[in-house]
Amino acid sequence: MALMRRLFGFVLAGALLGLFSMVPVVQGEGFTVASKSVSGDLPLDPRSSEWDKAKSVTIPLSSQIIFTPRAIVTPLGRSSVRQVDVKSLNNGTQIAIRLEWPDQTDNSGKILEDTPYFRDAAAIQFPATGGKEQPYFGMGHQGAPVNIWQWKSELQNDQALRALPLGDSYAGTSSSINGRNWYDGLWTPLNPPQDKERKSPVEDLIAVGFSTLSLQDSQDVMGKGVYGAGMWSVVFLRDLQTKDKEDAVLKKGGTVPVAFAVWDGSNEERDGLKSISTWHEFKVE
């Protein structure tokens, strides 16, 4: 059995090396994103001058090439976004995180149409409270879940926010398996509770590996995205303490791992076709 495990490890390593040779990947030591302590209300608007108080950290991104679908099948042959700039503020009660990245097109307006069209999106990932070990950076693993906050660009449109059921995504991409719906890489109940209406362009999610992404019962993250001058600026805002046992634990003076992902709709990126980071450090001052 030990020999078989070693052989499998060699085969897997060889396969991954082959994949990594096709697309550049991020290497190097991790970065620290420090959430600046401030007084007063936190800005949901990414254009607020309050963000000048926070230090920006540039996080490198690379194509997701480990699990299918891989970014090598996109029109560019890779994901398009190579870095994301991160800032954070907290006031002891709430925490806000702003992501900014270059994007030459605003892909947010046609999701409600029954046509091939893909959104711009971004996500922040933390270990969830249920894990006793650091999760795999690629959406966690069994016994080590991750809490993901995903912002979807079309939901900045009030019509889309009202029209799309929570968890729904692209027209014509759903299927039903074992009492749950599968929408664009996201598991949702067949009959979501009536009180599960969208209140934010951000979805609060849980995962224990690829193809396990699910809606949390409690949606605790607000957000807002603004596009201009070839750039997306997106704010995620949440209470530092929540009652949800699946939420990331964020507290004053604490440090947790954090990872990021970005999707470029113009490059037909969706689901596993995305730019990702490895784990970095997130410190709440």
19 part of a folded domain: no
pLDDT digits (tens, 9 = 90+) for 106-134: 988 665 555 557 889 999 999 997 656 78
User: Does 71 have pLDDT greater than 60?
Assistant: yes
If you average pLDDT over residues 2-22, what whole number do you get?
A: 38
Per-residue pLDDT at 59 exceeds 80: yes
Say which CATH number the domain at 276 has. Answer: 2.60.40.1190
Is residue 189 a part of any domain in this protein? Answer: yes
Would you state the structure tokens that stand for residue 141, as one six-digit string?
């693993």
Mean pLDDT estimate for the chain: 80
State residue 220's pLDDT score: 94
Alpha-carbon distance of 284 to 263, in angstroms, equals: 27
Residue 90 pLDDT grade (very low, low, confident, very high; cuts 50, 70, 90)? very high
Report the pLDDT value the prediction gives residue 27, as an integer from 0 to 100: 43
- Range name among 31-40, 170-179, 220-229 with the lowest pLDDT average: 170-179
Q: Is residue 14, in this structure, part of any structural domain at all?
A: no
Residue 64: domain span: 28-284
* Residue 4 within any structural domain of the chain: no
When mean pLDDT is compared across 5-9, 163-167, 195-199, the lowest value belongs to 5-9
For the chain, the domain total comes to 1
9: in domain: no
Q: What is the pLDDT of residue 156?
A: 83
Reported confidence tier of residue 93, pLDDT bands at 50, 70, 90: very high
Range from 15-19, 73-77, 180-184 that averages highest in pLDDT = 73-77
Is 190 part of any domain?
Answer: yes
Residue 98 falls inside a structural domain: yes
Could you write out the three-class secondary structure of 3-70? HHHHHHHHHHHHHHHHHHCCCCCCCCCCCEEEEEECCCCCCCCCCCHHHHHCCCEEEECEECCCCCCC
Q: How confident is the model at residue 2 (pLDDT cuts 50, 70, 90)?
A: very low
Q: Choose the weakest-confidence range: 13-27, 46-60, 255-269.
A: 13-27
